[in-house]
Amino acid sequence: MENSKIKYISKRLVERGSKRALKEASRRAMASNGYVVVVKDGWVVKEFLNGKIEKLEELAKPNINQELILD
């Protein structure tokens, strides 16, 4: 198998595994704590087991016109 295909398969497997692990961790946190803290629509929010959402803090909007200078 080509080296580039091996990298693609590895990357894809890592992405899938990561998504599954994060979903499972979120499910377990929700079950044990009754809520999880996530980012949704530009806000840090607390999502409760009953579906209620509490906004905690709005995230700062990035300045897309800002220049990046690397030293």
Measure the CA–CA gap between 71 and 68, rounded to whole angstroms. 10
Q: How many domains does the chain have?
A: 1
Q: Is the pLDDT of residue 5 over 70?
A: no
Measure the CA–CA gap between 55 and 35, rounded to whole angstroms. 13
The answer to whether residue 39 is domain-embedded is: yes
Measure the CA–CA gap between 34 and 30, rounded to whole angstroms. 5
For residue range 30-64, what is the model confidence (pLDDT) as tens digits?
A: 999 999 999 998 999 999 999 999 999 999 887 77
Average pLDDT for the chain: 87
Mean pLDDT within 3-15: 75
- The domain of 7 spans 3-58
The answer to whether residue 69 is domain-embedded is: no
What is the pLDDT, as a whole number, of residue 68?
72
Task: Return the percentage of the chain with pLDDT > 70, whole number.
Answer: 87
